[in-house]
C-alpha cells in the first residue's frame, strides 16, 4: 500500500549484504534497527527541509550553509547529515554533502511518480501513536490516542497516490481522462485535507470537484488550501447520502484509501452509487492483502506488517475477492483491478443501471489525512 515497494528499494541500498532478522547473531537486529533509523532520518530530513534544500543544489553544501538555508540549528543539522550519510540517504563528508540524483525523486519531489518521502513520514508519524497499543492489547481499546498523528501521517502518505492516479491510472482510462478534460463533475468521498481534489483541479481546469469528509478540521484545512477561492472546488462536512445528493450527480467518484476505515462499507458504496450518473465511474484506491503465493514478496510483507497499525485504527486490509464481492453487492459492475505497485491497487467500477435500493443514511469513518 502507498508505494512501499520503493521503500523496500531504499532500505535495500541501506541494508545491502546484511542478513535477515531471522538469522543467527546480531546481523538481523542491525538490519531492522538501521531500517528504523532510515525511516526517521528520511522523515526528519523532509520535515525540516534539509532534503529539499539539498535537492536544489548542484554542488556539495556544508552543514553551516544548510542550516542557514533552512533556518535550523547547525549542530542538529551536522548530526543529521552524518546519520543520513551513514544510512545511504545522502553522500559527502567533511567538505559538504549532496543528495544524489537518483534519490531526489525518491525523497524530495512529491510530484514525481517515484516519490516515496511521504511513506517514510507516514511510518514515523504513526509510530508516535503506538503508545496506544498498551490499551489495545490489554483492553481492546483503540480510541483517540491511537489517531493523534493519523491525519498528518495520511496526508504525507497519500501524495504518492495522487501522482499515481494521474501518471499510472488515467493513461489506462482514456474515456475518463477525456471526460475530465472536457469537463466532468467529480466527488472525493473522504477527501481529508483536500489534496486529491486540488491536485485534480489543477490538472483538469474544465472539471468541477466536491470534497466531502466528516472531519470538520480537515475540511477547514482543505478550504484554506483552496488558494484564491477556486469556485470549481468546494469542500463540505458530511459523511452520507445528503452531502452527495445535494451536489450530484457525478461523472466520477473517488474513494482514496477510505473504504477500509468505514464501519458500514456496503451502505456507503450504495450511497456513492446512487450519487453517480448512469454512466458514472467509481475509483477506489486501497491496499490489498497479497495472495499466499506472493506472501514472501517485500511489498506483501509490509502490507501484512502494517496490519498491526490498521488494527490500532480499528480497520484491516481487504482481500481482492472480498472487495470485488462488496462492489457487486453495492450495485457496481465491470470491476477492474489495477496494480499500482507496493501493495496499492486502483479498483475501477461502473454503475449497474439495474441496481436500485432504498438504503439511506451515512457511514461515519475515522478522520483521515490529505488524499
> What is the C-alpha R_g of the chain?
21
Q: Is residue 241 very low, low, confident or very high in pLDDT (cuts 50, 70, 90)?
A: low
Task: Please check whether residue 260 lies inside any domain of the structure.
Answer: yes
- For the whole model, what pTM was predicted? 0.83
Q: Is 342 helix (H, G, I), strand (E, B) or coil?
A: coil
Kindly give the pairing relationship between strand 208-213 and strand 233-237: parallel
Query: How many CB atoms sit inside 10 A of residue 140's CB?
Result: 7
- Judged by average pLDDT, the poorest of 41-55, 95-109, 240-254, 283-297 is 240-254
Same domain, 98 and 226: no
Same domain, 190 and 315: yes
Same domain, 341 and 235: yes
Q: What is the pLDDT of residues 256-270, one digit of tens each?
A: 999 998 999 999 999
Average pLDDT over all residues of the chain = 86
Q: Which residue has the higher pLDDT, 167 or 230?
A: 167
Same domain, 175 and 311: yes
Task: Please check whether residue 369 lies inside any domain of the structure.
Answer: no
In whole angstroms, what is the distance from residue 150 CA to residue 245 CA?
Answer: 29
Same domain, 240 and 92: no
Task: Please check whether residue 252 lies inside any domain of the structure.
Answer: yes
Task: Please check whether residue 128 lies inside any domain of the structure.
Answer: no
Same domain, 10 and 99: yes
Q: What is the pLDDT of residues 334-364, one digit of tens each?
A: 999 999 987 789 999 999 877 644 444 333 3
Is the pLDDT at 100 greater than 60? The verdict is yes
Closest CA to 181 of 189, 190, 170: 170
What region, left, alpha or beta, does residue 143 occupy, with left being phi > 0 and alpha being psi -120 to 50 degrees? beta
Q: What is the pLDDT of residues 9-21, one digit of tens each?
A: 454 444 444 444 4
Q: Which of 54, 76, 109 is the last residue of a domain?
A: 109
Same domain, 75 and 206: no
Task: Please check whether residue 133 lies inside any domain of the structure.
Answer: no
Same domain, 101 and 160: no
For 272, residues 6+ apart whose C-beta sits below 8 A from its C-beta are: 187, 189, 244, 253, 255, 282, 330
Q: Which residue segment(s) compose the domain that 12 sits in?
A: 4-109
Task: Please check whether residue 87 lies inside any domain of the structure.
Answer: yes
Closest CA to 338 of 330, 329, 347: 347
In whole angstroms, what is the distance from residue 2 CA to residue 344 CA?
Answer: 6
Instruction: Please give the share of the chain, as a percent, with pLDDT higher than 70.
Output: 86
Same domain, 89 and 160: no
The domain that holds 103 is classified in CATH as 1.10.10.10
Q: What is the pLDDT of residue 367?
A: 41
Percent of the chain that is helix, strand, coil (3-state, to 5): 50, 20, 30
Task: Please check whether residue 364 lies inside any domain of the structure.
Answer: no
The domain that holds 173 is classified in CATH as 3.40.50.150
Same domain, 211 and 347: yes
The domain tally of the chain equals: 2
Task: Please check whether residue 366 lies inside any domain of the structure.
Answer: no
Amino acid at each position: 500500500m502507498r508505494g512501499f515497494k520503493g521503500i523496500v528499494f531504499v532500505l535495500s541500498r541501506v541494508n545491502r549484504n546484511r542478513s535477515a532478522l531471522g538469522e543467527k547473531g546480531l546481523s538481523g537486529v542491525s538490519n531492522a534497527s538501521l531500517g528504523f533509523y532510515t525511516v526517521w532520518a528520511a522523515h526528519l530530513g523532509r520535515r525540516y527541509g534539509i532534503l529539499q534544500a539539498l535537492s536544489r543544489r548542484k554542488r556539495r553544501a556544508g552543514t553551516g550553509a544548510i542550516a542557514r538555508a533552512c533556518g535550523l540549528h547547525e549542530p542538529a543539522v551536522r548530526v543529521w547529515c552524518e546519520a543520513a550519510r551513514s544510512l545511504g540517504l545522502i553522500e559527502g563528508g567533511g567538505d559538504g554533502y549532496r543528495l544524489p540524483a537518483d534519490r531526489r525523486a525518491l525523497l524530495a519531489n512529491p510530484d514525481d511518480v517515484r516519490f516515496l518521502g511521504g511513506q517514510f513520514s507516514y511510518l514515523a508519524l504513526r509510530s508516535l501513536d503506538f503508545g496506544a497499543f498498551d490499551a489495545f492489547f490489554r483492553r481492546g481499546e483503540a480510541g483517540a490516542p491511537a489517531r493523534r498523528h493519523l491525519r498528518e501521517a495520511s496526508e504525507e502518505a497519500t501524495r504518492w497516490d495522487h501522482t499515481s492516479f494521474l501518471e499510472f491510472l488515467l493513461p489506462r482510462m482514456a474515456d475518463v481522462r477525456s471526460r475530465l478534460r472536457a469537463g466532468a463533475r467529480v466527488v472525493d468521498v473522504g477527501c481529508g485535507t483536500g489534496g486529491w481534489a486540488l491536485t485534480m483541479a489543477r490538472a483538469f481546469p474544465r472539471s468541477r470537484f466536491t470534497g466531502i469528509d466528516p472531519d470538520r478540521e480537515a475540511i477547514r484545512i482543505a478550504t484554506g488550501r483552496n488558494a484564491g477561492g477556486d469556485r470549481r472546488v468546494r469542500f463540505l462536512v458530511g459523511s452520507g447520502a445528503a452531502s452527495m445528493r445535494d451536489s450530484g450527480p457525478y461523472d466520477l467518484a473517488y474513494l482514496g484509501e477510505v473504504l477500509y476505515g468505514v464501519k458500514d462499507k456496503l451502505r456507503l458504496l450504495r450511497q456513492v452509487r446512487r450519487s453517480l450518473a448512469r454512466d458514472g465511474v467509481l475509483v477506489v484506491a486501497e491496499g490489498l492483502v497479497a495472495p499466499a503465493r506472493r506472501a514472501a514478496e517485500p511489498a506483501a510483507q509490509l502490507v501484512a506488517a502494517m496490519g498491526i497499525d490498521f488494527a490500532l485504527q480499528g480497520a484491516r486490509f481487504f482481500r481482492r475477492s472480498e472487495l470485488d464481492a462488496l462492489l457487486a453487492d453495492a450495485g457496481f459492475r465491470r470491476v477492474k483491478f489495477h496494480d499500482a505497485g507496493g501493495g496499492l491497487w486502483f479498483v475501477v467500477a461502473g454503475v449497474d443501471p439495474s441496481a436500485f435500493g432504498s438504503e439511506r443514511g451515512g457511514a461515519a469513518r475515522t478522520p483521515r489525512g490529505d488524499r
